[in-house]
Every structure is written in C-alpha cells, then in structure tokens.
Structure 1
C-alpha cells in the first residue's frame, strides 16, 4: 500500500502539468483567455485539493525546473529591454520611477491604516511595487502584439521589478540590523546578501560576454543562437541555484549584455520554442501551487483593498504622465492596466523573513491573496489592454 502511494505521488506532478496544458489550450481556443491564467488556476486548485501527493516546495527537481523556466523568460524579457530608448525618452524612465514610488506609498499607508507594523508595511509595499515580467512577456508573445503600449508595459515592468527586488533586500537587511543583538553578525549577513547579488550580476555578465564569442567561433550564429542561449540559461540557473546566487539577477544581466553584443533571437523562436512552451506550463502551475487556500481566504478582504490601491496607483501615474512622455491619455491608461500581473516569484522571498524568525501576519496573507487574484486576473487585464490599444494582429486588421 505504501509503495502504491509513493508511485501515485511520483505520477501526480506530470499528470497535473499535462492537464494544465490541455485546459489552458482549450480555454485559450474557446474563451480567448490567457493560457497562463488557466495554468495558474489549475495548479492552485489541484494542489490545495490534493495536498498529500502534491507538495511543490519539497520537490527539488520541480523547483529547479521552475527556476530554469523563469530564467529563460527573464533572459528573453531582458533581451527586449532597450536602454537606448530610455535615454532618448527619459520620461518613460521617470514614469517607471514615479509609478513605483506612488504604488509603494499607497500600499504602505493602507497597511499602516489597517494596523500593520511599520516593518511589515514596508515589506508589503516593496513587493506590491512589482509587475510580473513572466506574465507580461508571455501575453505579449502569445498575442504577437507590438506598439507603444506593449513596449511601455515591458519597460515599466523592468523598472518596477528591479526596484522591488532591491527595496525588499534593503528593508530586510535593515530589519536584521535592528533586531539582531549581535551587530557584527548582522553586518556579516547583510554583506553576504550584497556579495551574492553582486556575484549573480557578474555571472550573468560573464555568460553574456563569453557565449557570443563561442557562437562566433562556431560560425553559425544565425542558426544556433537560440539553442545556445537556452543551454547557457539552463547552466547559469543551475549554477546559481546550486551556489546560492540569484537566478533572477543573473539571467537579467545575461539578457541585457547579450542584447548589447548584438546576437539576435529569430522571430520564430520566441519563448525558446517547444522547450520554452513546456517549461512555461511548469512555471505557472508551480508558482500558483505554492499559495495555500487558508492563507488566501484569511487575507482576501485586505487583499482586495491592496489590489485596488496597487493597480489604481499605476493607472493614475501612467495616465497623468502620458502626454509628456509622448502618448495619449488613453494609451497611458492602458499601459497602467497592462501592469496588473504581480510577480508571484517575489512571494518566494517570504521564505527569507521566515528564516530570520519573522512572524507572518494577516497583512502577509493579504499579499498572498492579492497575488493569487492577479496571477489569474492580471494576464486577462494585460491582454484586454493590448486589444484595446489595437496592438494585436487581429485588432490592427480591423
């Protein structure tokens, strides 16, 4: 009987992933819903219905696969970021900075008003700033959209995600410094976090410099660029995962340097082909499966309030600054709506406060609830924004 239970447990995840892929394809074809929304909903529902056989964070192979999938998407996302465009139109960068700051302030004061501690309010505000690079890029690629709104959503997501990561790290280090009785130990922990982040960036830069040299030496850049980048991302993520570095920072740095080195990905190879499609299903099923139903229910009411404040802040800023940044008010509003998806992988950062002994509160559960809602509804809002902006092929033909 025990052997049968173990076999069921080993078969559960492949079956869930296959079912999510099938449901996602059906939902996209019949209802025109984003596939990733259905992947996430399937993962959340089935893991909470069958917790005995599906424990995502205890499955190290699944965690590694999800990190590789995340790395592939982040690499392609960073590859799409045009730093020269930001320098030519600095108002886009200003919009990203202001939007992130206003979102941070709005969530911070709502959390304080609800009775949360100052530290917890700061951490909530930092995580709420970010939009999801994975969801945004996936929707843009899936809809084959292009235009001003698409590009602004990509670049604003890059800005607020990087700011969110650094703000979270700084606030967490501040908390360690304040609560630790041993100042030397706290300083050592903070220095370790900073050095790990720096090493992650260096690793990504080194990969971005060496891989084009290897491809050039082989003399088949046009044919093998995508496959070479895919192998490089897999190795880089595995190296980061094994050595305690940040796969997020490493793959982002890799993508930016690779773009600067002028090695291009073919249009037909977006999402890294079949490999990327498969790992995308794994990623979104896994990400939503880490959210517990009890936590979502406990924080649902405050989660809705935080959701409204977060999305409202982004829409307000992108709309207000639209004219000076060179687009219409309508496109500015749609850019804000497109920033709806929240990065569920930042929620995995919750393990860090727990490791330092921080107690999770109702406000933390509210962030979990908001993440689930925006993991499912956020991609739908991004898709609607692209449709309304007439940047998808179907809308452009009308």
Structure 2
C-alpha cells in the first residue's frame, strides 16, 4: 500500500483534469452553462479539505502552471484592449474608476460591520474591486461574443484588475511596514513592484514583435512565440517576486500596439490554452476549504450583493455619456460580477510571500466559491440578454459594426 501512495499522488492532478474536462463537456451539453463552472465544482470537490484527492497547494509546478495559464489569459485580455478607443471615449474609463472605488468603499464598511479587523477589511475591499479576467475572457471566447457590452466588459475588467492589484499591494505594503517597520520592503511590495512588473511586460511587448518581424513570418509564428514569451515572463515574475498579473497585461497591451496580428482562430492559445485553463480553474477551486466557506457565507453574500450593485450602478450611470443605452450599460455592469480566480491567485501569492493575515479572510473563500460557480453563468446570461452571443448575433450585427468602427 505504501508503494502505491506515490503513484496515486502523481496521478492526482492528471485524473482531476480529466474528470473536470469530462464534467465540463457533459455539463455544458446538457445544461448550456459555461464549462468553467463545472471545472470549479470538480476542483472544489476534489480539493484536500474536501475529498482529499488533490494535495494541499504549495509552491511548485502546479501553482506555476496555474500562473502560466492566467498569464496567457491576461496577455489575450491586454491584446484586446484598444487605448485609442479609451482616449476617444474617456467616460468608459471614468465609469470603471467610479464603480471600483464605490465597490472598495461599500465592501470595506460591510466587512467592518461584520466585525472584520481593519487590515483584513482593507484587503477584502481591494480584492473585491477586481473582475476575474480568466472568467470573462473564457466565457466571451466560448460564446463567441462580440459587441458593445462585450468590449466594455473586456476593457473594464482589465482596468479593475490593475486597480485591484494596486490597492491590494498597497495594503500588503502597509501590513509589512506595520509588522516589520521596514519602509524599503513596504515600498517594494507596493509601488515599486508594480512599476517594475509593468516595465518588464512592456519590454516583452517591444522585443517579441521585433523578433517576429526579424523572423519574417509573424502571422504564422505569432501564437507559439507569444505563448513561449508569456511562460518566460511568468517565470521571471516568479523568480523576481514581481506581479505576473500586471506584467502579462502590459505585455499584451504593448504587443497589440506594435501591430503584430494575432489570429481570431487562435483565441485561448489553442489546445495548450484549453488544457491550462482547465488546470487553472481546478487549481483555484481546490485551494478552498468548505469550513471556511461555510464560516464566511453571510459576509460573502453581502459582499456579492454589494459588488453587483456598485458595479452595475457605476457603469449604468455613465452609459449614455459613453455612447450606449441604459440597458447595455446595465448589462455591462452585471457582467463584471466574476471574481474567483483572480482573487484566489492573489491570495496564494500573498500566502507564499509570508503574509499570514490572508488566513483570516474566510469571507473571501466563500465569495470566491459562490462566484466560481455563478460568476460564469451571470456573464453568460448578460451577454445573451445583450444579444451578442452566436445564438443572438443576427439582430446585433449593426451595433457590432458601429462599435468596431468607433473603436478603430
């Protein structure tokens, strides 16, 4: 029996990925719900605190692969951000800033009202500003969605991620300074780390397109080159203690504006991206403990409702100023509900960096579990109601053309 244990441990992740893939395919076929909701359910069920099939997450190959998967998604998100459109239509950025700040304030006061310590409340509030790009990009690609709501959700989720990482790192820096009274380390883990991460990603965004032009056939080789570059960038971020979130976003953003084509047929980075996406969602859900989820469920429900209200109200308030109807503004705000994977990976990075305070964030575990299942469903339904998915595309085509023309 003891000889079988190492073999079973080595098989745990391949078996979990296979089960998650099967559950996702059959689940999507019979319910028409997003596959990633089923990936999350399988990961949560097989996690160490539940059935114990998967080992306790720790530094090693699996978290690294999860970060690579997240990096590929963030690169694709950054690649789809049109800065010229944001300059021509600044009210989109304003709406994102307003809804993020409103979310931070609302969640902070809710956490304090539930008796959560101040520092933990600040961390929860900063994390709640985010919208999970992994869920957003995956559902949009799966639904082949395009149009005004889709583009706003992509741009606002990227903005939310940057703001959330900035706020979270600022809180971490404050925690380090208060705990160790080390101003240099506190500054490095807040402002300097983010600046260096963005600079590193920008350098990749300049170098890789230049390399593709030197090769002479960028369209054919772009997907593999970008994938290798993201893997290298995430590894450098790991080794240097940088933020792979900011670095990957900056890489995609700069690469897009270097005018190298990234074929629509290669979304999700093909089979590699599909496989790593399954691993990402299984890993993220496997880090959750059902006891912590149950302990923080009421605060979690309050945070979920507050996020939905503030983000929807913030985006809807600027709908007409940004050039869309109230209805489309409302649906874009609703589609910003997903949170799970982004928060879980940030917490894992903080835990591995020695920030013990994240263990107190039981409510975050509950929030992430709720939105691991329902977040993909919410954004899927919002896109369907906006008539921007493949099933509803014919009636939305005129608006899609005008939106793309406006963004060009």
| TM-score, scaled to structure 2 | 0.92
Spell out, residue by residue over 1:135-154, the C-alpha distance to the aligned partner (whole angstroms, 9 max, x if none). 00111111111000001111
Q: Which residue of 1 aligns with 2:405?
A: none
- The answer to whether the aligner puts 1:385 opposite 2:386 as a matched pair is no
Spell out, residue by residue over 1:177-231, the C-alpha distance to the aligned partner (whole angstroms, 9 max, x if none). 2343xx4xx1121233244333322221121111111111111111111111111
Kindly report which structure 2 residues correspond to 1:107-126, keeping only aligned pairs within 5 A, or say none: 107-126=107-126
Aligned with 2:366: secondary structure? helix
Q: Which residue of 2 aligns with 1:175?
A: 175
Q: Which residue of 1 aligns with 2:357?
A: 358
With over 3 angstroms needed to count, the CA separation of the structure-2 counterparts of 1:323 and 1:221, relative to structure 1, is same
8 Å CA contact 1:56, 1:62 repeated in 2: no
Q: Which residue of 1 aligns with 2:266?
A: 269
Q: 2:319 is matched with which residue: 299, 322, 346?
A: 322
Q: Which residue of 1 aligns with 2:337?
A: 340
Aligned with 2:387: secondary structure? coil
Paired residues, what number? 391
Q: Stretches of 4+ moved more than 6 A in 1? A: none
Spell out, residue by residue over 1:86-141, the C-alpha distance to the aligned partner (whole angstroms, 9 max, x if none). 11011101100000011111111111212222222211111111000110011111
8 Å CA contact 2:197, 2:247 repeated in 1: yes
With over 3 angstroms needed to count, the CA separation of the structure-2 counterparts of 1:30 and 1:126, relative to structure 1, is same
8 Å CA contact 1:136, 1:341 repeated in 2: yes
Aligned with 1:49: secondary structure? coil
Measured after TM superposition, the shift of residue 370 of structure 1 is 0.8
| TM-score, scaled to structure 1 | 0.94
Higher mean displacement: 190-199 or 280-289: 190-199
Kindly report which structure 2 residues correspond to 1:1-398, keeping only aligned pairs within 5 A, or say none: 1-47=1-47, 48-51=49-52, 53-58=53-58, 60-180=60-180, 183=181, 186-193=182-189, 194-350=191-347, 352=350, 355-358=354-357, 360-361=359-360, 364-397=361-394
CA distance in 1, matches of 2:94, 2:316: 13
CA distance in 1, matches of 2:171, 2:227: 34
CA distance in 2, matches of 1:359, 1:254: 29
With over 3 angstroms needed to count, the CA separation of the structure-2 counterparts of 1:162 and 1:61, relative to structure 1, is same
CA distance in 1, matches of 2:358, 2:328: 42
8 Å CA contact 1:107, 1:125 repeated in 2: yes
Instruction: List alignment gaps of at least 5 residues for structure 2.
Output: 396-408
CA distance in 2, matches of 1:209, 1:74: 17
Measured after TM superposition, the shift of residue 249 of structure 1 is 1.6
CA distance in 2, matches of 1:286, 1:222: 33
With over 3 angstroms needed to count, the CA separation of the structure-2 counterparts of 1:397 and 1:348, relative to structure 1, is closer
RMSD: 1.7
With over 3 angstroms needed to count, the CA separation of the structure-2 counterparts of 1:359 and 1:283, relative to structure 1, is closer
With over 3 angstroms needed to count, the CA separation of the structure-2 counterparts of 1:56 and 1:83, relative to structure 1, is farther
